[in-house]
Amino acid sequence: MHLGVGKQHETRRKGGHKGRMRTYTSPEEIDAQMKAEKERKKQEEEEGAALNDSQVEEKIEEAKSDSEDSDEDSSQKRKGVEGLIDIENPNRVVQKTKKVTELELEGPQPLSRREREEIEKQKAKERYMKMHLAGKTDQAKADLARLAIIKKQREDAARKKEEERKAKEAAAAAAKGLHTLSLK
């Protein structure tokens, strides 16, 4: 029985193109590259030492003039084509870096939104507590009414106890009086 596997399937490769052309550098090649780089650095150092004093002075002056120009450019890091084209965008805000000595620490700092809200919340709470203690809020009025009801209930309970106590004393006195009368 033939499953239909033909030449078409044999030419197809499993996987993609990614793993085909992998080449690895040998340790010998890496060592050779490192040696070549070291030699190039040594040659550059020798050339730098061979410069006479006048050439060194000229290089220093060029570096100073370049650094002055680069200070202006380095303050604005330009990306892409911006370095080639001068852009005058009125909406573009240039961020300026400030030194620590230039910062104004003495002046009043504006509060953040959270800080302002927190202060307002505390002030509102204080106002509410003052009004509550004065009995002007709805909750304070309800509390005072509840307290008045409780006071009245306690007074009634105390009055009842007093009446019961007097009744008991009167009953005890009457019983004593009858008892003394019956003895005579």
Q: How confident is the prediction along the chain (184 residues), in pLDDT tens digits per residue?
A: 455 555 555 555 565 666 666 677 889 999 999 999 999 998 888 877 665 555 666 666 666 655 444 444 444 566 666 667 777 777 877 777 877 777 666 667 788 999 999 999 999 999 999 998 888 888 889 999 999 999 999 999 999 999 999 999 998 888 887 766 666 5
Tell me the C-alpha distance between 45 and 39, whole Å: 10
Closest CA to 165 of 154, 153, 173, 176: 173
Q: Taking the domains of the chain in order of start, what are their residue ranges?
A: 141-184
Contact 137, 128 (CB under 8 A): yes
Structure tokens at 23: 């080449």
Q: In the prediction, which pLDDT does 95 show?
A: 78
pTM (2 d.p.): 0.32
Residues 6+ positions from 76 with CB-CB distance below 8 Å: 94
Burial class (CB in 10 A: 0-12, 13-18, 19+), 140: middle
